[in-house]
Structure 1
Amino acid sequence: MEDAIIMKGVTKEFKVLNRHEGLKGSLKDLFSRDYKTITAVDNISINIKAGEIVGYLGPNGAGKSTTIKMMTGVLEPTRGEILVNGTVPYKNRSHNAENIGVVFGQRSQLWWSLPLIESFKLLKDIYMIPDSDYKQMLELYRSLADIENLLHKPVRQMSLGQRTLSDILAAFLHNPKIVFLDEPTIGLDVAMKVKIRELIKGLNQEKNTTVILTTHDMGDVDALCKRIVIIDHGSMIYDNDIGHLKHYFGSYRTLRLNLADSGWKEILVDESKTDVMSVISEYQRKGGIKDISVEDISTEEVIKKIYAQAASRSA
């Protein structure tokens, strides 16, 4: 299986002006050469195979958006090498754009006042999609999602969930080799989240499209991603599959107790250090327990622990 994305020692630095306070400071800044260098992405190396769905995760400010902008050709790396579909993206932005799809920050690429089908027709012309390929994609969409009631509906009349689903369909319409999805289910209800996850998974399986997913919703990660990459402060701190991630933290259990005096309490227990029953006994002795549930550690809790470990190492 060939590599869709190759990054070798990619670093991105920005020069930021050291600003001064007040009116005099603002005037001084106009002529200042007092800059500091900020490293947004620090020596990241990744190989992503064609057809993979990879969760690219990290806290706000970790460098995710900067990395994606380099993959899409919007930014040039300060150092390192990057290839997307065998092309250097910042040197061949037009060619790169023909082979990728993007859904970012709920910035719609659809025409607001037009019915969805008219947006599709415009995108067909922009990407010069052959008639047969266009019809094939519409049939695929009909098999994966209930789109008939959306095709002739103006985008401005759609709900947030319908617009998000439509934007994802638009991103896949020209059959790109790679699609970048930024928070595709943010703000949606549970039913629509499930529908969009199933759509993404179905399009990936049918077209072998590589999907790079940035999200804070661990439900998206669990439903779609076999592999996750985690970055923090610009550096990669994890690159492996979810199964390995949970196995690594396999001794942790989430203990939920409904206490007589204070209601529900959630406790993360490391069974390699503390027995769950001893924790239960301690809370029972203190004031009584009305109900108990014990669950394996969630992906979200695992991610939090990895962030915490990375923060403690850098402190």
Structure 2
Amino acid sequence: MQTSVPFIEVDSLEKIFTIRRKAGLLKRSKREVRAVDGISFGVERGEMVGYIGPNGAGKSTTIKMLTGILTPSGGRLRVAGIDPARERTRLAQRIGVVFGQRTTLWWDLPLKDSYGLMHRMYRIPDARYRENLDRCVELLDLGELLDVPVRQLSLGQRMRGDIAAALLHDPEVLYLDEPTIGLDVVSKARVREFLRELNTTRSTTVLLTTHDLTDIEQLCSRVMVIDHGRLMYDGKLTGLHAVGESERLLVVDLERELPPIEDVPGARFVRSEGPRQYLAFPASSSAAPLVAAVAAAYPLVDLSVREPDIEAVIAKMYGGTREERRESLM
């Protein structure tokens, strides 16, 4: 039986940088830095995957190899059956890229002129270009910005402009490197909703790197964690919480201030704030039995459940040595 080939194939991928420094008047020293150290994974067409890790973990280096900007030092890499380093120009027609700290737009031109240049660069058919531009302008709220020079846009406005630019040629895969960096709450919500709609309606494959873990929680069902160039975890968000032994919080609002609730099996009292009490329980457990137990024994006004903080889970994973962290995830 023949199995389907992942849209993105990464097999034992490596990237080694040689750092040279002066070691005296006439001597120079050099050392090797393994930015990506033998990672392997596959991404199916239409998946939206979070790719996270601390600064210097190798996330951006991976993205640059996937786009053909950097050539791997070892391993095998294919995107839509194409070797990015060997056929970068051919691959460019099928991918979109957004680097949060760099823009692909022309600094002194109005936003619409940057889009016009991309129309010609990618040789996008006129009807297709107009349809895609209109769609991006509407969903990303760019209508009042089209005549504004890029240099006059705020960071949030420019980021939305960059996302639209990356999608004008209908890419099959979108690489997003910190797409919500520096954005306000409203802009973040707008970008997330747009990406969700894009993935749902057009089955665009999305690989998202970010330090804003709310992006991952709201957009991705699968997450990969990279540290020191190695893949530490690859699976569902729920599994990541299990690995990190994360907890959910049951927020209990009582009619009056009472002693700590410490008699509910499966829950741990955390703290109280007047008549409000906080109980922790494993993220993998159901809240229903706890809710029933509290409601039956205490004068209840309201109940709510707070989901675990992925950032705390990641921080816990990054405790100890790299070998200890990797062993805990196997």
Fold-level similarity (TM above 0.5): yes
Please report the TM-score for the alignment, with normalisation by the length of structure 1. Answer: 0.82
- SS for the counterpart of 2:54 is coil
CA contact (8 A) 2:13 2:36 kept: yes
Q: Counterparts of 1:208 and 1:138 in 2: how far apart (Å)?
A: 18
1:307 aligns with 2:318: yes
CA contact (8 A) 1:237 1:310 kept: no
Match of residue 86 from structure 2:
91
Identity %: 43
5+ residue gaps, structure 1, are: 257-270
1:13 aligns with 2:8: no
Q: Deviations over 1:191-246 (max 9, x none)?
A: 11101111122222232211111110011111111111111111100001213223
- 1:170 maps to amino acid: A
Match of residue 260 from structure 2:
none
CA contact (8 A) 1:83 1:89 kept: yes
Q: Sort the Cα spacing of 1:163 and 1:18 in 2 relative to 1 into closer, same or farther, 3 A.
A: closer
User: 1:105-144 alignment to 2 at 5 Å?
Assistant: 105-144=100-139
Q: Counterparts of 2:137 and 2:21 in 1: how far apart (Å)?
A: 54
Q: Counterparts of 1:17 and 1:290 in 2: how far apart (Å)?
A: 62
CA contact (8 A) 2:137 2:164 kept: no
Q: Counterparts of 1:14 and 1:275 in 2: how far apart (Å)?
A: 49
Q: Deviations over 1:24-65 (max 9, x none)?
A: x2x323xx3x43222211111110111111111110111112
Match of residue 179 from structure 2:
184
Q: CA deviation at 1:190?
A: 0.8
Match of residue 28 from structure 1:
26
Q: Counterparts of 1:221 and 1:310 in 2: how far apart (Å)?
A: 25
- 1:293 maps to amino acid: Y
Q: RMSD between aligned alpha carbons?
A: 2.8
Q: Deviations over 1:147-180 (max 9, x none)?
A: 2212222222222211110110001111111111
Q: Counterparts of 1:74 and 1:143 in 2: how far apart (Å)?
A: 31
User: 1:66-105 alignment to 2 at 5 Å?
Assistant: 66-105=61-100
Range 96-105 or range 191-200, more displaced: 96-105
Match of residue 231 from structure 2:
236
Q: CA deviation at 1:19?
A: 4.1
Q: Counterparts of 1:145 and 1:39 in 2: how far apart (Å)?
A: 38
CA contact (8 A) 1:2 1:50 kept: no
1:276 aligns with 2:276: no
Q: Sort the Cα spacing of 1:87 and 1:112 in 2 relative to 1 into closer, same or farther, 3 A.
A: same
Match of residue 50 from structure 2:
55
Q: Sort the Cα spacing of 1:142 and 1:103 in 2 relative to 1 into closer, same or farther, 3 A.
A: closer
Q: Sort the Cα spacing of 1:250 and 1:36 in 2 relative to 1 into closer, same or farther, 3 A.
A: closer
Q: Counterparts of 1:246 and 1:181 in 2: how far apart (Å)?
A: 24
- SS for the counterpart of 2:14 is strand
CA contact (8 A) 1:144 1:202 kept: no
| Partner of residue 212 from structure 1, selected from 207, 210, 214 | 207
Q: Sort the Cα spacing of 1:184 and 1:251 in 2 relative to 1 into closer, same or farther, 3 A.
A: closer
- SS for the counterpart of 1:153 is coil
Q: Counterparts of 2:307 and 2:85 in 1: how far apart (Å)?
A: 44
- SS for the counterpart of 1:297 is coil
Please report the TM-score for the alignment, with normalisation by the length of structure 2. Answer: 0.78
Range 48-57 or range 92-101, more displaced: 92-101
Match of residue 278 from structure 2:
293
Runs of 4+ residues deviating >6 angstroms: none
Q: Counterparts of 1:241 and 1:185 in 2: how far apart (Å)?
A: 22
Q: Counterparts of 2:307 and 2:64 in 1: how far apart (Å)?
A: 36
CA contact (8 A) 1:55 1:227 kept: yes
Q: Sort the Cα spacing of 1:136 and 1:14 in 2 relative to 1 into closer, same or farther, 3 A.
A: same
5+ residue gaps, structure 2, are: 252-263, 280-305
- 1:28 maps to amino acid: L
CA contact (8 A) 1:182 1:214 kept: yes
Match of residue 3 from structure 1:
6
Q: Sort the Cα spacing of 1:15 and 1:275 in 2 relative to 1 into closer, same or farther, 3 A.
A: same
Range 229-238 or range 292-301, more displaced: 292-301
